[in-house]
Amino acid sequence: MCKEVEEYAKDYAKEYAEEYAKEYRKQAEEAKENEAKARENEAKAKENEAKMKQKFDNMIKNAVRKKKDQNITDKEIREFIIDTYLLSEEEADAYIKGVQ
C-alpha cells in the first residue's frame, strides 16, 4: 500500500509540474507579446509626438509669416507668440529668426 501511495504521489507531482510548466511558458509568451506591443506603442507615440511638434512649428511659422506680411514689428510678433503659444522669449525669437 505504501508503495502505491508513493507512486501516486510521484505521478501527481509530475502531472502538477507539467501543468505548472505549461502555465509558466504561456505567461512568458504573453509577457513577450505584451513587451513587443509596448515597444510598438512607444514607437507610435514618438512618431505622433514628432508629427504634432512639426504641426505646431508650422502653425507658429505661418502665424509669423502672416504678421510679417502685415508689416507688424518683430517685438509685436514676439509678444503675440509668447501670449498665444505660451512660449519663452528665446523660443519666440527663434521662430521669428527661422522665418526670416
| Residue pLDDT, tens place only, 1-52 | 687 878 888 888 888 888 999 999 999 999 999 999 999 999 999 999 999 9
pTM: 0.62
Tell me how far CA of residue 74 lies from CA of 36, 60, 92, in angstroms.
48, 14, 10
Total number of domains constituting the chain:
1
pLDDT tens by residue, 38-72 = 999 999 999 999 999 999 999 999 999 999 999 99
d(CA 20, CA 13): 10
* Percent helix, strand and coil across the chain, each to the nearest 5: 90, 0, 10
Does residue 81 come out as left (phi exceeding 0), alpha (psi in the -120 to 50 range) or beta? Answer: alpha
Structural domain containing residue 93: 2-99
